[in-house]
Structure 1
Amino acid sequence: MSAQNSAGIQTLLDAEREASKIVQKARELRTKRVREARDEAKKEIEAYRQTKEEEFKKFEAEHTKGNKQAEDEANKEADGKIKEIQASGKKSQDQVIEDLLKGVLDVKPIPPSAE
């Protein structure tokens, strides 16, 4: 009976080891699948991000053309006004300097009036 029990116990231990190996393989397979799924998801996310980034750049390029043109026109207009002001200043520059010097150098003191 003891030999029979011993053989039965040995069979159970062998079965337990085999089951343990099967469980370990299943865990490894599950881990591998999870890793593969994660890698695939990362690839999909990157592809989606690139697609959206390209769409945004296209949208931005289409909608900033008008702004760029308006900016260029405003800069041209501002440059024209600056040149106009500079020309006007150069025209009357001598007269302004002369008037300033006259006001500083020709002092005519006026006594305060008694009020």
Structure 2
Amino acid sequence: MDCKISTGGDVYSFGVLLLEMLAGKRPTDTLFGNDLSLHKYVDFYFPDRIDEVLDPHMPQEDKVVNDLRMKSFIVPIVEIGLLCSKESPKDRPGMSEVCAKIASIKQDLVKTL
């Protein structure tokens, strides 16, 4: 927020990128303005209604497979995006923690294939 380059800013950017990809919206979308941001928009629906904000172009499968995918992979990735894009840098995780979480999600995904 004070225009200094930092790893906290990199973490924030990574979180925003994740939210952009999952929601299919940019932070500059006309939907956002005044007090609504991409982070607040996604957070409002997280976790129980997260499917309402996901990019409609994401592939969909049958209900059972989709529910498993949401619970095991999509919700944890959205959570990472929300944690990384918190307003205060001190509230954001470090990238090593983020990488460990993503690696764990990947391992779980590989087991299901």
Calculate the TM-score normalised by the size of structure 1.
0.21
Instruction: Specify which structure has the bigger relative contact order, considering alpha-carbon pairs within 8 angstroms and separated by 6 or more residues.
Output: 2
Larger radius of gyration: 1
- TM-score when normalising by structure 2: 0.22
